[in-house]
Amino acid sequence: MTKLNAQLERLIDARESVIGIIGLGYVGLPIVLAFTEKNFRVVGFDVDQNKVDKLCRGENYIRHIPSEKVDPLIETKQFQPTTD
């Protein structure tokens, strides 16, 4: 194992790495929730400013995911949605 691989593995094991998810729709948002449940910080990228704005307000647009799951993640900055 290379030094870089070992460092990456340590960051993952310690939950110090930041996960990036591209697309915050019906596939991406559940993946965000899965990583945050494992105590990772997640940055979610989407081109739809409306989706990002709703998520930043702690609102959700996917019916089977309650807003109560998203709002605390936004407040604690464990999940940061962006179009940038």
d(CA 21, CA 42): 7
Q: What is the DSSP letter of 47?
A: S
* Local mean pLDDT, 10-residue blocks, the chain (84 residues): 88 91 95 96 97 91 88 95 95
Residue 38 in tokens = 């494992």
> How deeply is 49 buried, as exposed, middle or buried, from its count of CB atoms within 10 A (0-12, 13-18, 19+)?
exposed
pLDDT of residue 60: 85
User: pTM of the predicted model, to two decimals?
Assistant: 0.86
